[in-house]
Structure 1
């Protein structure tokens, strides 16, 4: 469970109530086998059938882990300080999308909206650089 939580960088922490029933199901289906370990714990290993299934589903598994990795970058928004900026940031994006939709591809509008975002990013990076240098 710890390794899985680490892989999600804190955005998901599995509970015993979700992990153990899943492991039991995989064991019942012959996809993993459990072996006794220290302290009455079990270590689970993929069976040949489990490894074959993983190989067959490799692309889907990689796609899912890719999605999980991209979402783990958002784990920082659980912090109260970061959460304060979510609302204003989303309103900014919404305003930009509405403006672009109404502009029907007008390059001047697209360029102007992009300039706002680029300028905002640079200003935020400057704030961060100043913080780090002080």
Structure 2
């Protein structure tokens, strides 16, 4: 964990240099603000586990042969930007699928193009799960970006309260944020 009272030069420039020291309500708000800001600075796209990458690769190669970066781009396109797997997750998955005999590669013009083997086609055809891989993901990208912007707007409002609010206003802001946090978790708990 880092010392949030030190902050980055960007946040000092953006929010002023008048941060209170650690401890107390104002210091707690700055710590929460730093945590919120770092959360939203990270990639907005949700990470998928290795099984999901495997499923996505099989799904795409069942349609046509592709090279690795085409697979990454196609996943990003089909998910509406909500999911862009890294080369560090796609290429090891391709190697694993090749080792299992489910795909093979051909080099053409300096690029490896991957295709399903007959066994790979059988595995893809036997799995109902891969057919629904992209359902409901195409509209998540814009929603995740909008949520990220809303989070940054909230962080800026918190910074303003922390910078110029009275101790009572800071306490009220903490209570409001706590209520919002609880309501957000309640949204996730809904079916």
> Which residue, 49, 57, 60 being the options, matches 2:129?
60
State the SS of the aligned residue for 1:44: strand
CA distance in 1, matches of 2:81, 2:101: 30
> Which residue, 141, 153, 171 being the options, matches 1:75?
141
State the SS of the aligned residue for 1:9: coil
TM-score normalised over the length of structure 1: 0.55
| Unmatched 5+ stretches in structure 1 | 98-134
Change (3 A) 1:34 1:93: closer
Note the alpha carbon deviations across 1:56-75, whole angstroms, 9 max, x for none: 11x11123332xxx134222
Change (3 A) 1:13 1:52: same
RMSD (Å) for aligned C-alpha atoms: 3.0
TM-score normalised over the length of structure 2: 0.40
Note the alpha carbon deviations across 1:29-48, whole angstroms, 9 max, x for none: 0000000022x210000000
| Unmatched 5+ stretches in structure 2 | 1-71, 155-176
Q: Which has the higher contact order (CA 8 A, sep 6+)?
A: 2
Aligned length: 90
Note the alpha carbon deviations across 1:1-30, whole angstroms, 9 max, x for none: 111211111111111100100000000000
Change (3 A) 1:4 1:93: closer
